[in-house]
Amino acid sequence: MHALVTGGGGFLGRYIVEQLIERGDQVRSFGRGEYPELSEAGIEVVRGDIANEIAVADACAGIDCVFHVAALPGVSMRAKPYYDVNLSGTLNVVAACREHDVSRLVYTSSPSVVFAGEDQAGIDETAPLALDWLREHRSYYSHSKALAEEHVTNASGEHLRTCALRPHLIWGPRDGHLVPRLLDRARKGRLRRVGSGTNLVDMIYVENAAEAHLLAADALAQEDSPAAGKAYFLSQGEPVNCWGWIDEILGLAGLGPVERPISLPAAWRIGHVLESLYKTLQLSGEPPMTRFVAAQLAKSHWYDISAARRDLGYSPQVTTEEGMRRLGEWIQALETQ
């Protein structure tokens, strides 16, 4: 097929691009950067802004399947960029798919779209989107992603089949977000164990997340696809202790475990104050703590992936142990540069 990957130069997007190329598909990448390494690999690189509907429409011309991965992550208190990129950008992608008769759209969502500040243990896709809670607690990333996911799944029909994937805590070599931030905060002495330290979370190795996207695209190729119009949780298939896993990542870089604790109520109060300061003063960057982050670090959030196994044929091919070994090699290579 001829595939378009928005955010093809990013962490997950690049793995999707590489897996598509490896199996013989033709790939076009759309993003703001030049990414010469993609061009050198024979990939068509188109530069543009996902919030620009004309640029997005042009990028979708002649495409069979779109993997819409591009998004603005984080917990900044400046709301508008999240809705411009994550919501308006997705609306542009859906409209462009319809304009150019693209038959399949796989959207990268997030499990945080259903997170409402309480423990989630083994829940499935029947859990409702937490739109009100996310908006009230200023989680602009998750709220904008939830609205975008809703638009994508509702857009599925006879001529355009869509689905949304919810990979949780993507990690692995070339990570530019989760692991580097953990290591940076640990080195600066800014990591605190929030809550009891017993909460369980799901996560997913990046190559498994990428493969799930290809499986979803193939499932949508069926006219009576069971995946059409649905959302799917994705993970390694077994939750881990959140803080034990964080300590393991720190250990790969030769750092000690997180030892200084803070209670969830205290972290929640600090987050609320910092949110208000950043919002009122329009400060750039992200608050060191927010209410959403405090809840995510203290509460359990892991999910039932049986629907993805059934409808997509998903099964994590890279084990957590093997993934951690590869992550360790990557971290060590960075340390020696």
Q: How far is CA 273 from CA 16, 38, 118, 269, in A?
A: 39, 43, 21, 6
pLDDT tens-digit series, residues 259-279: 999 999 999 999 999 999 999
Q: Are strands 26-31 and 161-167 parallel, antiparallel or unpaired?
A: unpaired
Write down the catalytic residue from 140, 141, 205, 303: 141
Residue in the structure block whose two tokens are 């750039």: 284
Q: Which range, of 27-41, 200-214, 256-270, averages the lowest pLDDT?
A: 27-41
Q: Where are the domains of the chain?
A: 2-329
The DSSP result for 20-77, as a single string, is HHHTT-EEEEEESS--HHHHHTT-EEEE--TT-HHHHHHHTTT-SEEEE-----S--S
Cα 298 from Cα 198, distance rounded (Å):
8
**Whole-angstrom distance, CA of residue 152 vs CA of residue 185:** 35
- In angstroms, the CA 178 to CA 171 distance is 7
How do residues 136-177 score in pLDDT, each as one tens digit?
999 999 999 999 999 999 999 999 999 999 999 999 999 999
Could you tell me the pTM of the whole model? 0.97
Q: Provide CATH code, domain 2-329.
A: 3.40.50.720
232 is catalytic: no
3-state secondary structure of 299: coil
Is 174 in a helix, a strand, or coil?
Answer: coil
Instruction: Spell out the alpha helix ranges (H) of the chain.
Output: 11-22, 36-40, 53-59, 79-82, 89-99, 131-136, 140-154, 178-187, 206-220, 242-252, 264-281, 291-298, 306-312, 320-335
Q: Work out the average pLDDT over 53-65.
A: 98
Tens of pLDDT, residue by residue over 231-257, are 999 999 999 999 999 999 999 999 999
The single residue listed with the structure tokens 């900044």 is 76
Residue 212's pLDDT is 98
- Distance (Å, whole) CA 142 – CA 54: 26
- Say what the pLDDT of residue 273 is: 98
pLDDT band at 186 (very low <50, low <70, confident <90, very high): very high
Tens digit of pLDDT for each residue in 78-131? 999 999 999 999 999 999 999 999 999 999 999 999 999 999 999 999 999 999
Give the closest residue to 232 by CA, choosing from 205, 201, 209, 199: 209
Mean pLDDT for the chain overall: 97
* Confidence (pLDDT) at 337: 74
Q: Which helix (H) or strand (E) holds 240?
A: strand 240-241
User: Which token pair is 186?
Assistant: 């640990």
| Cβ atoms of residues 120 and 300 within 8 Å | yes
pLDDT for 127 = 98
